[in-house]
Amino acid sequence: MTQIDIEVTFNPPDLAQRMRNYPERLEREMEQTMKQSLLHVQGSVPQYPSPPSGSGYVRTGTMGRSIGLDGQAEIYETRRIGGGYEARLGTRLEYAPYVIGDDTQAWMHKGRWWTLKKVGEKAKPGIERLFEAMSKRLAAFLDGR
């Protein structure tokens, strides 16, 4: 399985604790922000790179479909785990690590294909902005505004 992992913390750090009396509101905000984050990451996935010159290989588009270039990615979910939340985006293709994996990318794809790690790095500032906006909404809610 090839996927992106991005961790985001609450700002202020005690916000989740302060929301303990309003679990439904926190759950709703988290679910919405996690889904927006997945859409943001998916929108950060680049198109296929151009085929190498002289290549006779005909692309099937399977990698693109599995990672969500033409719809929803194979791995596309949000869930609550313990006291936290998790959103996952990725592909189950057996060969994906050799094409878009960071440490596992095959030599012939390096420098041509993007990696999911690079996609995550590109998407992280936007995700942080989404969570910052959520934190501001929750803080305003707690302040009665």
CA dihedral over 69, 71, 75, 78, signed as positive or negative:
positive
pLDDT reported for residue 13? 84
pLDDT reported for residue 2? 66
pLDDT reported for residue 132? 94
Mean pLDDT of the chain: 89
